[in-house]
Amino acid sequence: MVSLFRTPKEGSMGHQEKQGWQRLLRRSLTRRQFLRAGALGTAALAGSAYLACGEESVPSTPAVGAPGAETPWLGGLLRFALSDVQGRFDAHRFPTFTVQTFNSFFVSRLLKHISGPDDPNTEELDLPPSEWYRPVPDLAKSYEVVDQLTYIFTLQDNATWHPVPPVNGRPVTPDDVVKAWEYYKSARPDRGVNLAAIDSITVAGPRQVRVKLSRPFGPLLVMLASPSDFWIYPPEATNNPDLLNTTLIGSGPFILRSYQQGVMAKAEKNPNWWATDDRGNRLPYVDGFEAYVIPDKNNEISQFSAGRLETMTVPAELIDVFRRQNPQAIITKNIANLLTIIFFPPAAYEANQPPFNDPRVRQAVSLAIDREALIQLASGGKGGKKHNLLNAGFIWYVDPEGPEMGELGQFFRRDVQRARQLLAAAGYPDGFDTELHYTANAYVTAVPYYNPMAEALPAMLREAGIRARLVNHDYQSEWINPQGGIFFGGLRSGMAFALETPVPHPWNQFTNQFTDNPRNHSRIRDPEILRLIEQLGQETDFDRGRALALEIQRINARNMYYIPLVGPYGFGARQPYTRAYAAPTSYGIGSESTPYFQIDTSRQRL
C-alpha cells in the first residue's frame, strides 16, 4: 500500500493607425479595463493566488499544520471576490473555469493537487517546482498499484456527505464513486476524453474502488487530481437534475448555505470533513466564507483597504498604487499557468482552406506579433515571459528562444520584413483581409489583460500586411458552447485569440490540442505529434517525458499550428492578519488551499 501522506520536499501601415497602436502600448491597460470587474478572487488566474493551488506527479500532502511552526489560528470568516457561476453548478455538464472553481469548495475528487505554506517575507511562490501539481489525498487516502493496468484506491475512513438533505451526512461509499464515474462519462460534453484510458471503476472492497485501465497511462494520478475532470457527486444529486442545478452537495470542506446569482455565495465549514492538522484540529481552519461578485475592481480594492476582504488579486497596472494604499498587505507574484494562443480554423488543415493552410502564412502571423510589447501591455510594465506551447507558468516550460529550440526561436521574435517575405512567397505579396475572433465578456474579471491584448493584435498584424478585423463572441453561447463553439472546433474562418485551461501535465494539453479531443480547436492531426503524445501518455520518468514534450513543441514551432504569445506577472494580496497556503494556478482552490487559510480574528474587522 502506498500512502499519499508524505511531507513535501521543500508592410505598410498608415501613420495614424500606427500611432494609435503605439499609444495603446504606452498607456498599457487603461484604468477602466482593469477596474470594471470583480476577479476570480484569489482563484488562481492572476498567477499568484492565495486560494490557489497545484502540484505534480507522485503522491504527497501539504504539511497539514499551520503555515510554518506557529500555533494555528482557528475560526473567522474568509471574504473574497469570486466570478459568478451564472446559476450553473454541474461541473460535468458545464466544464468552465468558473463552475469548476466553485465546485472545488464543496465537491471532492479522488485526489487533489498539493499546496504549501506561503512565506509572508517573499513574493515568490514558495512551493518548489518539483512539487507542482503533485497529487495528494482528497476522497482517497491511499492507493495500491496492483499492476500497470490496475489501481486500488482506499477511501477516507471518515468521509461523509454533507449533513444536508437528501444525503444527511451518510458515509461516502465505493458504490457512490462508481455511480459518480458513470455520471461523469455520460454528462461530459467531451465524453471524458482526458480519462479515456480508464476502462472501468468498480467496487473492490468495503472502502475501496478498483480503477482498471485499458492501456498504461503515466499521468493517471495527476489527471485524477485535476479539477477539470472527475468530480464525485452523490447519486441523490445526479439522479435529480433539479437538485444538481440549484445547489451543490458533496463531501468537500465547505457546505453551501446560500447563493444569489450575480451577488454572493455563503458557505460554512463542513464539521465532518475528513482532514485534520498534526495537532488534531479539524480543517478548514476558518468557520466559513462569503464570496462576492464585485463588478468593479476599484470597489474590490476599496473593500480590501477597508478590511472587508481578506484576499484578492491585484492587476499589475495597479500594484504600485495598491502597495501605497495597503503597505502591510502580503503580496505574492507569479506567472499563471495559463496559455495565450492564436489558432486557425479546422478547414485550414482538413480542407486545405487558404490562407492558413500554408505554414509560411502561420509563421508570418507569429513574426508579425511584438511579444515584448504585449508583455509590457499585459503586465503594466512589471514584466513577464514569452510562452512556448507549454506556457511560462508551467514546470515543463522551455524558453522558446533558448538553445533547446535552436533555429526555431526565430519565429518568436518580431520581424515584419521577414513576415512580409513569407507572405509573398505563399502568394500574398499584398497581404490579405481576415478576422481575429475573441470573446470580450469572459475574462474581464479573472484575466484583465486578455481583452487589451486582443485589441492590440490587429494593428501589429496589419504592419505585416495581415488586415485582421476584430470579431467579438459571447462566451457561453458562441465561444465555449460544446456544440459548435469557437473553442470546440467551430471557427469557420480567420484566426482566434484564446486562453487555454491550466493543465497539470503536458499530456493533458497536447491531447486537447492534437487528438480527437473536442478541445482540439483546429482539428490538427499531425502523425508525428500523435506518436509522441502516445509515448508521453505512458512515460513516468520526468526527463524522458520532458524530452518528448520538447520535441512536440519544436514540431509546433516549425509549423505554427498554434501560435503561443506571452504570460505577464500577476499579483495576489492578503491581509497581514492571515496565513495561507499557495501554489501554481488551479481551479481546485476550494479544497487545495482554502482549508489551510487562517485568520487572526482578534485583528479582523467584521
Give yes or no for a contact between 319 and 571, defined as CB atoms under 8 angstroms apart: yes
**In the block, which residue shows the cell 454541474?**
90
In this prediction, residues 550-560 reach a mean pLDDT of 98
pLDDT-based confidence at 480, cuts 50/70/90?
A: confident
Closest listed residue to residue 310, CA positions, set 603, 36, 98, 588? 603
Give pLDDT, residue 322.
95
Which amino acid, 8? Answer: P
How is residue 448 written as a grid cell?
A: 484583465
pLDDT-based confidence at 570, cuts 50/70/90?
A: confident
Helix, strand or coil, per DSSP, at residue 401: coil
pLDDT surpasses 70 at 16: no
Closest listed residue to residue 47, CA positions, set 437, 579, 499, 453? 499
Rounded to whole angstroms, the Cα distance separating 223 from 508 reads 8
Closest listed residue to residue 238, CA positions, set 195, 185, 310? 185
State the virtual CA torsion across 47, 586, 604, 445 in degrees, nearest 10. 60
How is residue 47 written as a grid cell?
A: 498567477
How is residue 467 written as a grid cell?
A: 488586415
State the virtual CA torsion across 235, 237, 239, 242 in degrees, nearest 10. 180
Give pLDDT, residue 90.
94
In this prediction, residues 19-43 reach a mean pLDDT of 34
Percentage above 70 pLDDT, the chain:
88
Helix, strand or coil, per DSSP, at residue 107: coil
pLDDT surpasses 70 at 9: no
- What is the full DSSP assignment across 213-244? ESS--TTHHHHHT-TTS--B--HHHHT-HHHH
pLDDT surpasses 70 at 466: yes
Give yes or no for a contact between 192 and 224, defined as CB atoms under 8 angstroms apart: no
The pTM of the full predicted model, rounded to 2 decimals, is: 0.84
Give yes or no for a contact between 372 and 381, defined as CB atoms under 8 angstroms apart: no
Give pLDDT, residue 65.
36
pLDDT surpasses 90 at 58: no
Residue 426 has what DSSP assignment?
T
pLDDT surpasses 60 at 390: yes
| Interhelix angle 371-379/450-463, nearest 10 degrees | 150
Give pLDDT, residue 69.
57
In this prediction, residues 298-312 reach a mean pLDDT of 95
| Least confident segment among 136-140, 372-376, 582-586 | 582-586
The DSSP bridge partners found for residue 198 are 213
Rounded to whole angstroms, the Cα distance separating 141 from 154 reads 6
How is residue 287 written as a grid cell?
A: 468557520
The helix/strand count (H/E) of the chain reads as 18, 24
Span 410-447, pLDDT tens digits: 999 999 999 999 999 999 999 999 999 999 988 876 78
Beta sheet of 563-564, edge-to-edge order: 466-472, 432-438, 495-500, 339-343, 563-564
Span 179-233, pLDDT tens digits: 999 999 999 877 788 899 999 999 999 999 999 999 999 999 999 999 999 999 9
Residue 270: burial class (beta carbons within 10 Å; 0-12, 13-18, 19+): buried
Nearby residues of 352 by Cβ (< 8 Å), 6 or more positions away: none
Give yes or no for a contact between 572 and 313, defined as CB atoms under 8 angstroms apart: yes
Which one has a higher pLDDT value, 84 or 227?
A: 227
In the chain the domains, ranked by start, together with CATH numbers, are 2-8+36-329+575-599 (3.40.190.10), 339-566 (3.10.105.10)
Query: Where are the extended beta strands (E) located within 245-338?
Result: 254-260, 264-269, 288-292, 311-314, 330-335
How is residue 87 written as a grid cell?
A: 446559476
Give pLDDT, residue 446.
75
| Interhelix angle 359-368/542-559, nearest 10 degrees | 100
